[in-house]
């Protein structure tokens, strides 16, 4: 049974068009990095708040989304 030769390179070493892909390291702008950290913290706080509300009111939350009578 014949097998297909793939050239010995994995897909991660080639782009979609088959060209070599170069690894590039980009340093973040300090202002962007600071803003990213602030946004990440805000999102984490919001998710924690949502989690605590769901823990307290999970049954009520689910009932609010139950469709009644074909609605």
35, pLDDT greater than 60? yes
Supply the range of the domain harboring residue 36.
Answer: 30-70
| The predicted structure's pLDDT at residue 64 | 77
- Split into its structural domains, the chain has a count of 1
Give domain status of residue 63, yes or no.
yes
Flag whether pLDDT at 19 surpasses 60: yes
Residue 12, in any domain of the structure: no
DSSP label at 20? B
Give exposure, 19-41, as e/b (b: 16+ Cβ within 10 Å). Answer: eeeeeeeeeeeeeeeeeeeeeee
Asked if pLDDT for residue 31 goes beyond 80, the answer is yes
* C-alpha to C-alpha distance for 10 and 52, rounded to whole angstroms: 45
End-to-end CA distance of the chain: 59
Residue 41: pLDDT above 80? Answer: yes
pTM (two decimals)? 0.43
User: Which tokens is 71 given?
Assistant: 């609605």
pLDDT of residue 16: 59
């Amino acid at each position: 049974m014949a097998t297909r030769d793939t050239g010995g390179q994995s897909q991660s070493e080639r782009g979609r068009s088959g060209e070599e892909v170069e690894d590039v390291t980009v340093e973040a702008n300090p202002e962007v990095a600071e803003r990213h950290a602030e946004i990440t913290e805000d999102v984490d706080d919001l998710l924690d708040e949502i989690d605590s509300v769901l823990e307290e009111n999970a049954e009520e939350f689910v009932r609010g989304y139950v469709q009644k009578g074909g609605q």
